[in-house]
Amino acid sequence: MGLIPIKIDEIYEAEVIDLENEAAGVCKVKGVTVFVPKTLVGEKIRFRITEIKKNFARGKLIEILSPSEKRVKSSCPYYEECGGCDLRHQSDDENLIFKRNKVIKALEKIGKIKTEVKPVVPSFKNENYRNKASFKVENDRIGFYGSGTYQLVDISYCKLLEDKINDALLIIRSYLKNNKNEIKTITIKLGNAMGELLIDVYSTDLKDEKIKDYLISNVKDLKVIVFNGKTVYGNGYIGQICNGLMFNCSSDSFFQVNSVQVERLYKIAIKEAKLSKNDVVLDLYCGTGTISCIVSSYVKKVIGIEIVEDAVIDANCNARINGITNSRFICGDVAKEISKIKEKIDVIFVDPPRKGIDRKAIAVMKKILPKKIVYISCNPVTMARDLSYLNDLYNVKEVTPVDMFPNTCHVECVCLLEKH
C-alpha cells in the first residue's frame, strides 16, 4: 500500500482512456490505474481519490473539464449519487456498443475465445421496465445505496421501475414517515399476468408486521405480503406470462426482471438450440421452471435442477397449470444432482447466477457430453471463464447479447456451444 504514490482525498486531473467492465472510466495517475464512474473515453476530468487497493484506485468525479461528444444529460435527479444505473450519461446507441465490446473483451481476455458476437438486441423499453426492486430502509428513508457505498440515497421515484412499483413506493414512504420501525429491506415484485404486486418486508422487530394492514388498505392490486420470510397475506404467488405460458412466482423465486425483453431472450435461446422432438433436455439452475416449460413443447423430455426449494415447488406448479407432462424437477445442488441423471441428455440449457457454473458441475456436464449446450448468462466475465473450461470439447458457435438492463452496464448473453 505504501508504494502507491497517491493518497486518499487527493485531487487529480487526467484523461479517460477506456471504460472498464462496470463502465467506470479508466485513468492513469503517476502510473496507477484509477477507475472513475460516470465518465467517458476521451474526457478530461478532475476527480478525488476515494479508495486505494494494491493494484488500482477508485475516484469520484468532481468536474468534467472536456466532455465527450457521446455524453448526454441524465434525466434522473438521483443519478449522480444512486448506484442503480451506470450509463445514463451516454446515449442508448453507444451503450449497446459498450455492452457488445464488453462481451468481446471478456471472451478474448478471460476465455481466450474468438467467436462471432452479434450486435446487442435492444430492449423494447429503456425506462420503466423492471418488474422487481429491493429497497433499503433506514428509519423514515427508503431507496438504494449510493454507487460503491453503503450510504442510502432516499428516492421517491425510480425511472427503471414499472410505474405500479413506484406507486407502491410512495405509499410505503408515507408509512415510514409516520411510524417508527426497524424495517431493513422491502422488495416489491410486479406480476404482468394480472398487474398484481408482491411486497416482501424484512425487519429486526416483529412488531413491524403491523405494516401489513396499512399496505392492504392503501396499495392497489396488492396480491401478496411476505413478512420475515412468512406469507401473511394472499396465497404467496403472483402470475407472470412469458412466451404464452403462465408462471406462478413466489417471493424467493427468480424471474427475469425485464418481462417484455425476456420473451425475446428465450426465443433466441430456443432458435439457436435447434431442438428436435426426440431430444432430452437438462435445464440447470432452472428457477421456477421458465425455460423448462417453454422448451417442453419442442422436445421429448425436460429435467430441471434448482437448489431453492420454493422455486422447485413453483416449477412443478407451473408445469401443472400449463398442462405440461414431460417435465421433471429436482431440488438440490446442481453439482451433486447432475451426476445422478441416468437419461441420455441431448441438450443442456444452463442459466446460472452471476458467479457462474460450479466447477464440479462443469466436470459432470463434460462427462454427460450433450451435443449442444445453450449458456444464458448475466455476467460475461464468469461466462467467459466457464466457456474456457468447456472449449476442449465444445466450439463456441456464436454469442448473442441481449439488453435486459438498459441504462446500466449489465448485459445478458445467449451462447451456443456445439460438440467438436
* Residues that are catalytic: 378
Cell, residue 352? 446460472
Q: How far apart are CA 301 and CA 345, in angstroms?
A: 10
Do residues 21 and 62 touch, judged by C-beta distance below 8 A?
Answer: no
For 30, phi then psi, to 5°, come to 50, 40
> CA-to-CA distance for 255 and 392, rounded, in angstroms?
32
Q: What gap in Å lies between CA 96 and CA 338, rounded to an integer?
A: 36
Nearest to 340, CA basis, from 350, 351, 332: 332
Q: Which residues contact 146 (CB under 8 A, 6 or more apart)?
A: 81, 82, 83, 152, 153
Closest CA to 98 of 20, 12, 190, 212: 20
The helix/strand/coil state of 369 is: coil
**CA 266 – CA 259 distance, rounded (Å):** 11
Burial 276-300 (b: 16+ CB within 10 A, else e): eeebbbbbbbbbbbbbbbbbbbbbe
What's the Cα-to-Cα distance from 281 to each of 273, 291, 374, rounded to whole Å?
Answer: 11, 10, 11
Total Cβ atoms within 10 A of residue 18: 11
State the DSSP string of 205-243.
Answer: SGGGGGHHHHHHHH-TTEEEEEETTEEEESSS-EEEEET
